Amino acid sequence: MNEYDSNRILDLAKKINYTSTKNIKEADCYILNTCHIREKATDKVYHEVGRVKKEFRNKKKPIVLIVGCVAQAEGEVLLTKEKYINAVVGPQSYHEINNIILNSENKIKKINATEFEVIKKFDQLNVVKNTNSKISAFLTVQEGCDKFCKFCVVPYTRGPEYSRPSSEIILEAKQLVENGSREIILLGQNVNAYNYRNQRLSDLLHSLSKIKDLDRIRYTTSHPKDFTEDLMQAHVDCKKLMPLLHLPVQSGSTKILKDMNRNHTIDEYLEIIEKLKKRKPSMKFSSDFIIAYPDETIDDFEKTLSLVKQVKFINSYSFIFSARPGTPAANLKKIDEKIAKERLAIFQKAANEIKEKYRKDLVHSTANVLFENNTRGLDKYFGRDEYFNSVIVHSKEDLTGKVRQVKIDKCNQNTLFGKVIIDNKPTEFAA
Ligand code: SF4
């Protein structure tokens, strides 16, 4: 979502004649868009501002704005502790960015813009064309969260759940496709809680499927509690919807899920997976895991391990529990670090074995790949298959933006390599 927000901030700032630069030394304004989901996010902000300070030591000071969730969470503290910062701007206030930049140019005063003005924000963004032209583009459809999982900062930094009007989303999707995008990834902290005047995520998926020249749709991130039957059916009916679902579970133990305030059991989670697989056997799954959540016993941990083995997630993102200031879980007693590290290592070994087997089984199979760009050199193209696996091929044809069948002939941990199939035969190009 920060990538989407950063692009939209740039779209807005172009209205006052700012543009992006890859050369920090020539920047007049430095905008740091921040995420608060990982540990030490605030330290990273101070470190980064320190880097800018050093760069501009004997030069004219650039305007420095801290945007995003760290700005929201720390607000005034950042302005007080680091005088080099001109303004802090929360994720629901960045539609004010141009006024803030102009204000800072005139050195009027430091600004703390951390109101939850999500409706105003999207009203403002709707009148500025989304200029992103990436083959695979993000599109925010929903923001915020009302779930209050005990470990998570999102409800405090992004605010309550809000769904954008579907007509605005469809208009923005059409803009992206006109710009050249062929895949749209719908974003929301609780994307499947999307509900605009009884229009659900499934309705949105059906409407977006009708956009000519849009080849693929994905969405992330979902909550099991909001996984409704109509959304399951959309996976069958919307042919453009890719067959990979990222459905965070966090733990394999119902007891820990209750402690986390996740509001569902493991049986309910597995029921969603089974129902989806029954309706669409090609479905695959990925998930997020928190290892060593406070009070996690060895029995709870083993339940997480056995869930991974049962579902065979093709990607498992795992982290040791770390406390976020201000969340209820921050006050709980942590599990001994050595035990936590041991559990993470055991978990990741098991998850990687599943992933490795899955990827090895893909060798000699055929994948439909949407190519995004050519990498280093003229004839090497990067794309993704339907399951979001990275694929690289050699091709004399410009494949950017095209979907091609690829015969996979080898893989490493992160990438599949193959040959484009032309006239039922894999093409041969020197590697
Ligand atoms: S549902 Fe997701 S975003 Fe909401 S509080 Fe839980 S982990 Fe955070």
Please state, in angstroms and rounded to a whole number, the distance separating the CA atoms of residues 87 and 110.
Answer: 5
Question: How many A from CA of 162 to the centre of ligand 1?
Answer: 14
Please state, in angstroms and rounded to a whole number, the distance separating the CA atoms of residues 220 and 191.
Answer: 6
> Which ranges in 127-165 belong to alpha helices (H)?
154-157
Question: How many A from CA of 147 to the centre of ligand 1?
Answer: 6
401 DSSP 8-state letter:
T
* Cα angle value 302/307/310 (rounded, 5°): 125
Ligand 1 atom with least separation from CA of 189:
3
Ligand 1 atom with least separation from CA of 250:
7
Label the pairing between strands 390-394 and 380-384.
antiparallel
pLDDT tens per residue, range 37-87: 777 889 999 999 999 999 999 899 999 999 999 999 999 999 999 999 999
Question: How many A from CA of 250 to the centre of ligand 1?
Answer: 11
Q: Of the given ranges (231-235, 346-350, 418-422), which has the lowest mean pLDDT?
A: 418-422
CB 155 within 8 A of CB 148: yes
Q: What b-and-e string marks burial along 84-123, b requiring 16 or more CB atoms within 10 Å of the CB?
A: ebbbbbbbbbbbbbbebbebbeeeeebbbbbebbbeebbe
Residue 429's pLDDT is 54
Residue 64's pLDDT is 97
Residue 377's pLDDT is 67
Ligand 1 atom with least separation from CA of 155:
5
Ligand 1 atom with least separation from CA of 146:
4
> Which ranges in 224-378 belong to alpha helices (H)?
229-237, 254-260, 266-279, 298-311, 337-362
Nearest Cα to 161, choosing from 115, 99, 116, 95?
116
Ligand 1 atom with least separation from CA of 221:
2
pLDDT tens per residue, range 353-385: 999 999 999 999 999 999 998 887 678 999 999
Pocket of ligand 1, candidates 38, 156, 223, 246: which has the most ligand atoms within 8 Å of its Cβ, to mutate? Answer: 223
Instruction: Give the residues surrounding ligand 1 with Cβ less than 6 Å away.
Output: 145, 147-149, 152, 154-155, 189-190, 223
Pocket of ligand 1, candidates 69, 145, 191: which has the most ligand atoms within 8 Å of its Cβ, to mutate? Answer: 145
Closest C-alpha to ligand 1, atom 1: 147
Question: How many A from CA of 363 to the centre of ligand 1?
Answer: 36
Residue 146 pLDDT > 70: yes
Residue 428's pLDDT is 61
* Residue in this structure with the two tokens 């956009």, named with its chain if needed: 211
Question: How many A from CA of 149 to the centre of ligand 1?
Answer: 5
Residue 431's pLDDT is 40
Give the model's confidence band at 342: pLDDT under 50 very low, under 70 low, under 90 confident, else very high.
Answer: very high
CB 54 within 8 A of CB 84: no
Pocket of ligand 1, candidates 72, 140, 142, 189: which has the most ligand atoms within 8 Å of its Cβ, to mutate? Answer: 189
Mean pLDDT of 21-41: 90
Q: How many residues does this entry show for the chain?
A: 431
Residue 425's pLDDT is 74
Residue 284 pLDDT > 80: yes
Question: How many A from CA of 1 to the centre of ligand 1?
Answer: 14
Mean pLDDT rounded to a whole number for the chain: 94
Ligand 1 atom with least separation from CA of 148:
5
pLDDT tens per residue, range 85-143: 999 999 999 999 999 999 999 887 899 999 888 888 898 899 899 999 999 999 999 99
Question: How many A from CA of 328 to the centre of ligand 1?
Answer: 13
Question: How many A from CA of 185 to the centre of ligand 1?
Answer: 19
95-to-19, 128, 129, 340, 422 alpha-carbon distances in Å: 16, 10, 13, 42, 48
Question: How many A from CA of 360 to the centre of ligand 1?
Answer: 33
For residue 237, with 0-12 CB atoms within 10 Å meaning exposed, 13-18 middle and 19 or more buried, which class applies?
middle
* Residue in this structure with the two tokens 């960015």, named with its chain if needed: 97
Residue 223, amino acid: H
Nearest Cα to 66, choosing from 56, 55, 78?
78
pLDDT tens per residue, range 383-411: 999 999 999 999 989 999 999 999 999 99
Residue 430's pLDDT is 42
CB 343 within 8 A of CB 292: yes
Residue 196 pLDDT > 50: yes
Question: How many A from CA of 165 to the centre of ligand 1?
Answer: 22
